[in-house]
Amino acid sequence: MINFNKSSHLYYLLLGGFFGLVFAGYGIFNKIDAGGSISRDTIAVVNKTPITMESYLRALDRYQNDSKDSLSDDDKSWVLQRLIEEELLVQRGFSLGMITTDNDVRGAIVRTLIASINAEAAAAKPNEENLLEFYNQNKERFTYPATISIKAWVTNSREIAQIAQIKLEAGETLESLKEIRFLNNIPNGLITLRKIREYLGPSIANAIMDSTNSNILNQFIQGRWYLIKIIEKNKDIIEPFESVKNHVENEFIRDKADQKLRKYINNLKESASIIYLDQKI
């Protein structure tokens, strides 16, 4: 849904979508006062630095702009965690004397810390055995996904669907059938199974992939009949290790940097005082 892809590398999350949250902006000098009072506009407190509801809502808005769906409670919690982690990285940057100014340099602090962690990971050159093990455990990263070319029609009539299927199997066109509609929103040429799911739903996509005996499918889904003509279907292609060795090494180093960064952030969290003001988030 939101595409700061949660399953993608943390390194790119922080360098990419994460900065969208960074630049939503909130004051980094707003400490809780000596009396310990907390503003009603505060949603969390990180080492006595409040994260305001206003900054959180701005981050949610920016996050929502990349999604077609409404945000779930898990999504909202995920956004808050990214704001907390950014605050921890910024505070760490201040403690290391990287900068002494305000909001405009938050991104620079985070980038500097990430760059140092990434450089450390890159310095540890993997050997052939390390790379081969990583390749075998992560083959999906080095695989060209299956691609399919189809044409699709839809009708509300079972009888028309049956007639259309006979015509397609005989190599005829469906131009004479007025009660069936051609789906012209599906791109011509080869597309991935994921795209077919987006256009036609998972049931039809799975039926297309499972089809071995016929290139014409007649599927009844939610009160309508779909006619699918499979023009071309290609299986997944896994690149041989030797041909993608450099890519494997880059992915290996990036993965190690992700792990180091996550460990670094988790250590900051464990040693920090984090107070959540809204238990629903």
3-state class (DSSP) for residue 15: helix
Q: What is the pLDDT of residue 150?
A: 94
**pTM: predicted TM-score of the whole model, two decimal places:** 0.48
Q: How far apart are alpha carbons 281 and 274 in whole angstroms? A: 14
CA distances from residue 9 to 4, 31, 65, 141 in whole angstroms, order as listed: 10, 32, 21, 12
| Short-list 225, 270, 280, CA closest to 46 | 270
pLDDT on residue 101: 52
Q: Is the pLDDT of residue 11 over 50?
A: no
Sorting pLDDT into bands at 50, 70 and 90, what band is 254?
Answer: confident
What's the mean pLDDT in 45-55?
87
**Mean per-residue pLDDT for 7-21?**
42
In this predicted structure, the answer to whether residue 269 has a pLDDT above a threshold of 60 is: yes
**Integer Cα distance of 269 and 263 in angstroms:** 10
The rounded distance, in Å, linking the Cα atoms of 273 and 270 is 8
- For residue 26, what pLDDT band results from cuts at 50, 70 and 90? very low
Q: For a pLDDT cut of 90, what percent of the chain falls above it?
A: 29
Q: Kindly tell me the burial class for residue 184, based on how many C-beta atoms sit within 10 Å of its own C-beta (0-12, 13-18, 19 or more).
A: exposed
Mean pLDDT, range 137-162, rounded to an integer: 92
